[in-house]
């Protein structure tokens, strides 16, 4: 592969880790993501743009990708998006949410965009007819339409199983979103809403795929990159 422009979006599952852990690497806590594997192998002869950001929800992922696409006037050969949770940050009570933000920093809020709510807020939104998982899927659907309207090639996949959308309640959107360009992988529970982490679980065994905080480890990323991503690049 040579002289290609590839744009990548996602959350911490796809964010480059080079600035974080490549100097003092601890395999129990750190990982080399599939995006860094791609950059190491093909970055020299291609323009690989990675706007994935840790803790990002769908609203932030779409915003960062769209901004970059506008900057480069949609001159891109392939867009790869790892989608995040259909509700990114959730807390039972407002004080719990504030504590999370205080402990992790206020950047947490800006990264999640509108994907932040408490149980009380969630219930109020439901009363108003605002369905949070539906809105998350809607953002994916609208971004898909944007890419197709510009004849941009793309591949989508979940980072991990999305349990919130397993009911037929969301089938009107998932039936449209789930086309040949949306890669899905069976979860260990048998769900067809599985993602990258679920693929690694199937190949390596559930007990062998994570670092201490639950993110996929380097071996999981390597398996996913070699089995799934590289064939896409040459497809």
If one counts every other C-beta atom within 10 angstroms of the C-beta of residue 187, the result is 22
Name which of 79-88, 116-125, 204-213 the model is least confident about. Answer: 116-125
Average pLDDT, the chain: 86
- Structure-model confidence comparison of residues 123 and 53, the more confident one: 53
CA distance 193 to 16: 25
Give CA 79 to chain center in angstroms: 13
| pLDDT for res 24 | 80
Tell me the per-residue pLDDT of 101-149, one tens digit each, with 9 for 90 and over.
555 554 444 444 445 555 555 555 555 455 778 888 999 999 999 999 9
Task: Say how far apart CA 9 and CA 61 lie, in whole Å.
Answer: 6
Instruction: Report how far residue 202's alpha carbon sits from residue 75's, in angstroms, rounded to the nearest whole number.
Output: 36
Angle value at C-alpha 226, between 8 and 202, nearest 5 degrees: 100
End-to-end CA distance of the chain: 11
The residues that bridge with 210 in the sheet, in sequence order, are 216
**Total tally of structural domains belonging to the chain:** 1
User: What's the token pair of residue 30?
Assistant: 């750190």
- What domain range includes position 64? 5-233
Residue with more model confidence, 31 or 95: 31
- Residue 43 pLDDT more than 70? yes
Q: Per-residue confidence at 25, pLDDT binned at 50, 70, 90? A: confident
Q: Which among 161, 135, 174 has a CA at the least distance from the CA of 57?
A: 135
Q: Are 83 and 41 in contact (CB under 8 A)?
A: no
Please report which confidence band the pLDDT of residue 40 belongs to, taking 50, 70 and 90 as the band edges.
very high
* Mean pLDDT, residues 227-235 taken together: 93
Q: What letter would DSSP give residue 4?
A: -
Q: What is the mean pLDDT of residues 20-36?
A: 86
CATH number at residue 202: 3.40.50.1110
């Amino acid at each position: 592969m040579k002289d290609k422009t590839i744009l990548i979006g996602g959350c911490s599952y796809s964010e480059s880790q080079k600035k974080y852990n490549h100097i003092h690497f601890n395999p129990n806590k750190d990982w080399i993501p599939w995006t860094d594997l791609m950059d190491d192998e093909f970055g020299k002869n291609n323009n690989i743009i990675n706007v994935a950001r840790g803790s990002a929800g769908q609203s932030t992922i779409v915003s960062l990708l769209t901004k970059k696409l506008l900057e480069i006037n949609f001159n891109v050969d392939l867009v790869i998006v790892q989608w995040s949770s259909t509700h990114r940050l959730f807390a039972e009570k407002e004080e719990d949410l504030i504590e999370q933000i205080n402990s992790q920093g206020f950047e947490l809020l800006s990264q999640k965009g509108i994907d932040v709510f408490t149980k009380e807020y969630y219930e109020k939104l439901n009363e108003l007819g605002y369905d949070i998982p539906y809105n998350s899927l809607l953002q994916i659907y609208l971004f898909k339409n944007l890419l197709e309207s510009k004849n941009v090639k793309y591949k989508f996949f979940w980072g991990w199983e999305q349990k919130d959308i397993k009911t037929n309640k969301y089938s009107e959107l998932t039936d449209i979103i789930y086309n040949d360009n949306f890669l899905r992988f069976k979860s260990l529970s048998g769900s067809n809403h599985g993602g990258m982490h679920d693929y690694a679980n199937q190949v390596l065994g559930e007990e062998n795929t994570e670092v201490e905080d639950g993110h996929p480890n380097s071996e999981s990323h390597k398996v996913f990159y070699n089995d799934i991503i590289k064939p896409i690049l040459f497809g």
